[in-house]
Amino acid sequence: MSQSIIIESINFDGEFATIILTPYNNDNVVNIGVQQLPYTFNPSLINPLLEIYGTYTLVINENGKDCAYFLNVIKETPTPTPTVTTTPTTTPTPTVTPTVTPTNNICRPSSTPTTTPTKTPTPTQTKTPNAPTPTPTSTTTPTPTQTMTKTPTPTPTPVYFAYLFIEPVSGSTNIGQWMYDSGRNFFGFTNYSQPTQNQTAFNIDMNTYVNFSGWTNGLFPSLIQQTVPQTSGGEDSFNNAIVAYNFLTTEIPNNYVNGYGWYTWMIPVSLTNNERQTIIDINTSNNPNLMTGVGTESTINSYTFTYTGTTIPPTTYRVYTTYPNTIFKITDTQNIYMRGNTITP
């Protein structure tokens, strides 16, 4: 490919745009400035030298509002043939039942004191003629009122799952505009961009990404959640072995997305025994029992983010996808099946 690129306007020749380049596999952002379109960009003139590959963000003022458009120049790399990984058989670890030791009460009950009554002499009454006979008065001891102790209501323990986010290619502009307006340099996987490779910025990138309203208002496909077992043994509903800390076989029905989408799993670290889901099984041709093991991208899954919003339960997650490899960019013309395969430290 030539080391220069012509950037054209989507509206009319002569239009002005602010052009920003996020180079492929590089965190440095290059501000090309305000240019009149069409514009020929030669990155070899920049020091240090750059290639043309990456995401070009074009900010154009339309009717008084800044609108962002994205141009992706992809560096073609051969797609590796996935290696079929045999799913290891894990011997279930027996659950240790804790022994409950009763607590002895070492307090001695107080002795009840014995009171010896003192006999009081009866006074001698002098009878007065025609005096009325006195009526004895009875004294009533009030019964004390019992105070009820209120038992506190226990706080329910949160239930967590593995969550599948499917970013449709048809919605790349929506997610890209949201991330751009939020001041991020990560514009979503369908815009061929990657979360910032820095723990602090990664946390902000992913919180912003998950907070996108499209995940919950019907603009994007609904999230799919799946159980992550904590013990091994037995088979799931698709007759695949249940292996501790690996999410169960998950079906994504055909036409769930109606086209290409980018598939990304987000799993709480507490469900993977604080380890990483390094291999995920996948089948894209309607067969849940004939899967291929695919390695998740090691840079992305090395970071965590602590979610604080409401799209999924707040806790600490890791992100699992194949970007920049496009294995997880899938079209759903048939049922798709995914399953956790391997957990490693």
Q: How far apart are CA 62 and CA 102, in angstroms?
A: 75
Contact 176, 168 (CB under 8 A): no
Q: What is the pLDDT along the chain (345 residues), one digit of tens a residue?
A: 447 888 888 788 888 888 888 887 666 778 888 888 888 888 777 666 677 788 888 888 887 777 888 887 777 555 444 444 444 444 444 333 343 334 333 343 333 433 334 444 444 444 444 545 545 556 555 555 555 556 566 666 778 999 999 999 999 999 999 999 999 999 999 999 999 999 999 999 999 999 999 999 999 999 999 999 999 999 999 999 999 999 999 999 999 999 999 999 999 999 999 999 999 999 999 999 999 999 999 999 999 999 999 999 999 999 999 999 999 999 999 999 999 999 999
pTM over 0.85: no
Please state whether 324 falls in left (phi above 0), alpha (psi between -120 and 50) or beta. alpha
First to last CA, the chain: 40
| DSSP code at position 171 | G
Q: How far apart are CA 184 and CA 180, in angstroms?
A: 5
Q: How far apart are CA 40 and CA 15, in angstroms?
A: 14
